[in-house]
Amino acid sequence: MCIVTIKVLNSSPNAVSNGGFTYIGLLIVIAVMGIGLGAIGPLSRSVQLRDKEAELLFIGDEFRRAITRYYEESPGGIKQYPKKLEDLLRDNRQPGIQRHLRKIYVDPLTGKNEWGLVEVPGYGITGVYSTYDAEPVKKANFAAPYKAFESAKKYSDWKFVYSVNDALNRSGGAQIAPAPTISPGR
């Protein structure tokens, strides 16, 4: 006759308790990683928002400069503002191709190709602004033309406007009176 011996592996009490400690240790590591990732989330969102703010400041300034060039380079004696943003892409008032902007930029905060327009009725578009209504992260250290942004409560208060009176004041010229009232519009 043949005798068969069967040995049960990991049947000792120590082996079972070691598996439990490993499981609990793994749960603790996962919990710590979750807390760490949870803390990084808002920081990452803040960094992304700051990047989008910097992009908005750049794009808004590009629009303001394009409107300035459009106005200042008006042919003849009558200065004009653009009637629509597309006028900045191709200025048909002069012979040849005159471009003040290469493209209509996408608003980095909304991801849309839509901008709020600052218009003077009967004159045209004097500026643009983002339609995003969240509170800005940046509150100080703006460039000279944008010092008013420091008191803004939301991004849609950041208006990138060309004002003839501001330009004349910087150059030491006399103000044009009366200046048209600027009201936001679409």
Strand partners, 127: 118, 161
* pTM score over 0.95: no
Query: pLDDT digits over 141-158, tens only?
Result: 898 889 999 999 999 999
Contacts of 10 by beta carbon, 8 Å cutoff, 6+ apart: 16
Regions in the chain scoring below 50 on pLDDT: 4, 6, 8, 15, 168, 170-186
Q: Domain-by-domain residue ranges, the chain?
A: 18-185
